[in-house]
Amino acid sequence: MIELRRKTIVLDGVRISYLETESSAPALILLHGFASGSYIWKKFPEKILGNFRVLIPDLPGHGSSGLPEQEPTLEYHARLIEQFRLAAGINQFMGVGHSMGSAILASYSFTFPGKLNGLVLESPPDGSGSLPLLWRLVAVNGIGDFLMNFYPPTRGLLKRRLNSGVNHPGLFTEEMVNDAWNAFSKGNLKKWIPRALRVSGLKVAWEKIPMQCKIVYGNQDRLMNPAFLNRLREILPFSEFHAFDNCRHVPHLEYPERFAGLLVGM
C-alpha cells in the first residue's frame, strides 16, 4: 500500500507541513482551498499515488503550517510554491488546485512559466463579486479577530459545514473532520483567515494562463457563477471544461475515480 507521509520544511522562515509519497515518478502537487487543508485530498485514489510523486502542502496559516509575516496575496503564494518546488528538487510538475488553490496555481503558471507540465483548476473562484456578510465582518480589522475566537463553536457544527459543500453527506471521514477541527482549535487558521480576507480578493488574471488546462466543477456548486464560467470559456478557448453532475464544490471528493482519470491521461 502506498503511503502519504507527513513531512515539514522551512520556507522563507515559515514552517510548511506537507504530505508526500516516496517515488521517482513525475511530480504532482495538490493545493487545497481557503480555510481547508491537505486533508481534503486524503481519499484520493491509490492509482494516482502510484502514477505520481504526490506532494500536498498545508498552505501558510492552514493545517499544521506556520503563520508568515508576509501578506497573503496570490503573488506571495505563487512565490512560496516556487520555493517549495526548488526545495523538493522538482524540475516540472503537474499542478492541481481546488478553489483558492486553483487561483494560486493560475497565478503561478504565468509568474513562473515553464514549470508546470499540466494544470487542473477545480472549482476556480470568481473573485469579482462581494463577500457574504459574515466574511465581510471577519475582514474588518479587529472585529474579525474577535469573531474567529468563537468559530467554529463545536466539532459537530464544523462537520456539518464541511458536508454542506458536497452532495453526499459522510464523505468527510472522522479523520478528515479531526484534521479540520485541529486546524481551527490548535493551528493558525483563526489568525490567518481575517488577514487573508483583508488582503486577497482572489482576482486572478485568468487570461494570462500560458497553457491549456482542465477546468473541473460541479453542476450544483452554489459558489460557481455561470457568467464566470462563460468568461473562462471565452478567455481559455483551448482548455477543457468538465462538469460533474450531482456534484457541488469538491468534485475530487465526490467522484474521486472520475477526477483521477482526468489526471492520468495528461
Average pLDDT of 222-243? 94
Look at residue 36 and tell me whether its pLDDT is greater than 90: yes
Peptide bond into 153 cis (omega under 30): no
pLDDT, tens digit, for every residue of 124-158? Answer: 998 776 667 777 788 888 888 888 888 898 999 99
Q: Say what the pLDDT of residue 130 is.
A: 67
Look at residue 214 and tell me whether its pLDDT is greater than 70: yes
Q: Say what the pLDDT of residue 200 is.
A: 64
Share of the chain above pLDDT 90, in %: 73
Tell me the pLDDT band of 185, cut-offs 50, 70 and 90.
very high
If one counts every other C-beta atom within 10 angstroms of the C-beta of residue 53, the result is 18
Q: Say what the pLDDT of residue 201 is.
A: 65
pTM for the predicted model, two decimal places: 0.95
What is 5-127+201-264's CATH number, 3.50.30.30, 3.40.50.1820, 3.40.50.2300, 3.10.180.10? 3.40.50.1820
